[in-house]
Amino acid sequence: MTTADPSLPAPVLTVRDLCKRYGDKRAVHDISFHVAPGEIVGLLGPNGAGKTTTINMVLGVLEPSAGRILIDGFDVSRQRRRALAATNFAAVYAPLPGNLTVEQNLRIFGLIYQVRSLQARIEALLEQFDLLAFRDTRCGLLSSGEQTRVCLAKALLNRPKLLLLDEPTASLDPATARDIREQIRRIANDDGGGILWTSHNMVEVEEVCDRVMIMSQGRVLLEGDPRTLAQEHRADSLEDLFVRLARDPANSAEQREAAR
């Protein structure tokens, strides 16, 4: 995998030789990568590839069996509080408490993250994500698109250097998904934070991500520009390349090594 260019700003996320074992099974096998400031990196792979395990190790939810994770220069294993203070997360499978209003949710999570000038930050995020009209609405009554916007607002409360997004547009209609993608692109451009994004939507990945990594069976098999990666590996599309790697990762890995 590529390493960070020393002439560029330090990565917001550095993963080195990361492993996760469950007995004799390796869920993640010696992966290394980085995410630069302002960069959106797609982490792709079929179900069971190790994507969510990787994200959970970055978040400190799972302890790696080996390897090192640095967030904004802080080691997650030794400087956990400072590393995670620079991080946030959003996923469709992790909705906010539905019995609380939009503002109540933002306030509670803002207190957890010890956000300074919290009310001003809440107001700015309500406006940014077009949620002012829903401030007193319980989150459980919102549409899928509205809930996604609230989750993104929550994920930006602490102005994270690293934003982890696990399938953020899954189950959204195409128009709403497009709006969310545009907002996330602006977050990277305007705030300068790095984003690690998992998705199964290859069209979305090509549109949004600056770089992608394709995982299978716990390994990163390929990495590159999503708009050119398929052509470089003689596939008709990124989706075709993804399917090829998912169906035959061992052979694809051998072909990759032979091409080096």
pLDDT, one tens digit per residue, over 121-150 is 999 999 999 999 999 999 999 998 899 999
Same domain, 230 and 244: yes
Separation between Cα atoms, residue 61 and residue 81, nearest integer Å: 13
pLDDT, one tens digit per residue, over 81-120 is 999 999 999 987 788 999 999 999 999 999 999 999 999 9
169 contacts 148 by C-beta, under 8 angstroms: yes
Q: What is the pLDDT of residue 95?
A: 86
Structural domain span for residue 126: 96-159
Same domain, 231 and 165: yes
Separation between Cα atoms, residue 71 and residue 19, nearest integer Å: 17
Same domain, 81 and 171: yes
Q: Into how many domains does the chain fold?
A: 2
Q: Which amino acid is it at 47?
A: N
42 contacts 212 by C-beta, under 8 angstroms: yes
91 falls within a domain: no
Q: Mean pLDDT across the chain, nearest whole number?
A: 90
Q: Is 224 helix (H, G, I), strand (E, B) or coil?
A: strand
The residues pairing with 20 across neighbouring beta strands, listed in sequence order, are 28
Q: What is the pLDDT of residue 137?
A: 98
Mean pLDDT in residue range 209-219: 94
Joined tokens for residue 253: 């890995």
Among 49, 68, 46, which Cα is nearest to 57's? 68
Separation between Cα atoms, residue 95 and residue 102, nearest integer Å: 12
